[in-house]
Amino acid sequence: MERTDQRINCLNCGKEFIFSARDQKYYEEMGFRNSPKRCRECRALMKRERQFVPQADGSVSELFKSDCALCGRAAYVPFKPTGCKPVYCRDCLVAKKIGEQKREDYKQETRLS
Ligand SMILES: [Zn+2]
Ligand SMILES: [Zn+2]
């Protein structure tokens, strides 16, 4: 079958992109039956915003990217951020825990004396 370049409108940004004959061949070889729905940039962006982390029990958990409520850096959480709950990055989470622990220690110390 002769392959020709296909023009597809990206589902995400609406931009037209080329699904080239070479890419089509690659897709076929990979066993993908559907042509891509998003342009290369949007696909790369989606990849960056999602992380798949292999778990000890063999399953894979999906992490969603959000901004840390404290430092604004990228934070990955195992749920889709809704905006209702603050999301913290790993560092801030640890710092928060240490802070809470210190408060607990302080409470106990004051109770003892
Ligand atoms: Zn796009
Ligand atoms: Zn942070």
Q: Which ligand is nearest to the CA of 92?
A: 2
Q: From start to end of 20-106, where are the E strands?
A: 50-54, 60-67, 74-77
With a CB cutoff of 8 Å and minimum separation 6, the contacts of 51 are 62, 63, 65, 76
Ligand 1 geometric centre to CA of 72 (Å): 26
State which H helix or E strand residue 17 sits in: strand 16-19
CB 63 within 8 Å of CB 78: yes
Q: How far is the CA of 18 from the centre of ligand 1 (A)?
A: 11
Whole-structure pTM value: 0.45
Rounded to the nearest whole angstrom, what is the distance from the C-alpha of residue 41 to the centroid of ligand 2? Answer: 27
pLDDT (tens place) for every residue of the chain, 113 residues total:
678 999 999 998 999 999 999 999 999 998 988 889 999 888 888 777 777 777 788 887 788 888 899 999 988 888 777 777 888 988 999 999 999 888 888 888 887 76
Domain boundaries, the chain: 1-52, 55-113
Cβ(101)–Cβ(95) below 8 Å = no
**Cα 113 to Cα 12: distance, rounded to the nearest angstrom:** 62
